[in-house]
Amino acid sequence: MIKKIALGIAAAMSLQVSADVAQVADEIEPKVIEWRHHFHQHPELSNGEFETAKYIADYMRELGFEVQTGVAKTGVVAILDSGKPGPVIGLRADMDGLPVLESNDLAWKSTAKGEYNGNEVPVSHACGHDTHMAMLMGAATILASKKSELKGQVKFIFQPAEEGAPAGERGGAEVMVEEGVLKNPDVDVIFGLHIWAGLDVNTVAYRAGGIMAAVDPFKVVVKGKQAHGAYPWLSVDPVVTSAQIIMGLQTIVSRELELVEDGAVVTIGKIQGGVRSNIIPNEVEMVGTIRTLNDAAREHIYESLPRKVKAIAESMGATAEVTLPLDYNYPVTYNDPELMADMVDTLVRTAGKDHVTSRKPTTGAEDFSFFQKEIPGLYLFVGGKPLDVPVKEAPAHHTPEFYVDDSGMKLGVKLLTNLTMDYMAKH
């Protein structure tokens, strides 16, 4: 009975907090948009977010937070301490842009250049990380103004290199975790948002369990015997062998996984071998990606793919070397079911019942998953699509046309703030 009364009081307090947060979010929205436009005009690539980090760190110091820079090379971590006992809540935003030439005609369009693997490339925020930073700065602003109402601490994590570190480097959430970002003080739970170009503004989408896939790039090198293209019987043809391997790999998902339970993808994205039409080469190299939505499917493919590749190569008289994972790999982005059930009422109260939707998982990947491997966490999608744009016409992420509307950020600011304050009230 006492617990029910306490929960009722917490719910009533949360309603009042939500109303206050909504009012302040309205007031600071122009500033959030200003921040977003600044980041959008000045994007930086993974592990090179130096000016972005300085801009964020300077503002977080203005709010009176304890600020640490240089985390995982360019990351920024700021701590708001209420001075009262309570949970430690992590809030995360990613910082890096992409080597994509923006084609949108915006007053705040990116014309930035950067260096990617030794080449000069255009840079743009073609995945919405500019909005993620602006939303988290907005939430920090509101939470700083409500410090007297908080119990516990908030750790604001601005993370570099979500899109993957440059060749020969490491970065991102995995390195932040290794460097202790979830320690001192120890973070109890973590929340993150991703703006989504295909989801209506003022809408939030969630899912308990796996919401984004694990990603595991791999490489296969098939070695045969070179011969003249006119005399293929003198060769051990790595091209034909590679073709057999590519088709064979598709049967892992279609014939070995329980598809109603195990969503997965095995894709070959690159195949390279030979120099001209009449020479069968000595070897062929293939590069691909594996996407899985649970650990069982991931473990099965890790065992099955090398076995199948080597058996097919052997049947053709060739040999094959498999590198898995190739360079980076991310776990499944997994929303803790108990935490999701605990916080879903916050989503409804913040966005409104008609603007909260459960969603199917996506085979895209997110290194937010490294935080969730250590502590319970929630990763949510916030709408960035203008209401007058049909879903089929919404530009995809990582493309020159990518666009999300400024008006989608206010909900993200409110969600990050209310998730923090509601979790503190409940725990």
Of the residues 44, 49, 94, 96, only one is catalytic, namely 96
Cα→Cα distances 274→156, 194, 224, 277, Å: 51, 42, 12, 8
The arithmetic mean of pLDDT across residues 315-325, rounded, is 98
Q: What is the pLDDT of residue 359?
A: 94
19-49 burial, b if ≥16 CB within 10 A, otherwise e?
ebbbebbeebbeebbebbbebbbbbbbbbbb
| pLDDT exceeds cutoff 50 at 1 | no
Is the bond preceding 30 in cis, omega lying within 30 degrees of 0? Answer: no
Q: Name the pTM for this structure.
A: 0.91
Looking at the predicted structure, is the pLDDT value of residue 12 above 60? Answer: no
pLDDT value at position 18? 62
| pLDDT value at residue 327 | 84
170 shares a domain with 240: no
Q: What is the mean pLDDT of the chain?
A: 95
pLDDT for the residue numbered 117: 85
Residue where one domain finishes, among candidates 323, 347, 362: 323
If asked whether residues 136 and 41 sit together in one domain, one would say yes
Q: What is the pLDDT of residues 40-55, one digit of tens each?
A: 999 999 999 999 999 9
- Same structural domain, 204 and 218: no
| 411, pLDDT greater than 90 | yes
- Average pLDDT of the residues in 106-114: 97
Mean pLDDT of 268-293: 97
Q: Is 162 a catalytic residue?
A: yes
pLDDT tens readout for residues 382-391: 999 999 999 9
Same-domain check for residues 125 and 241: no
Pick the catalytic residue: 94, 130, 162, 174? 162
Would you say 150 and 345 are in contact if contact means Cβ atoms under 8 Å apart? no
| Residue 405 in this model has a pLDDT that exceeds 80 | yes
Domain identity same for 205 and 347 = yes
Burial class (CB in 10 A: 0-12, 13-18, 19+), 370: buried
pLDDT of residue 259: 82
> Region 143-172: what's the mean pLDDT?
96
For residue 9, the model assigns a pLDDT of 38
Residue 3 has pLDDT above 80, yes or no: no
Verify that 277 and 342 share a domain, yes or no.
no
Q: Are residues 264 and 356 in the same domain?
A: no
Do both 381 and 412 map to the same domain?
yes
Task: Give the chain's domain count.
Answer: 2
Same domain, 207 and 219: no
CATH of the domain at 255: 3.30.70.360
Q: Which domain holds residue 15?
A: 2-213+332-426
* pLDDT (mean) for 209-217: 96
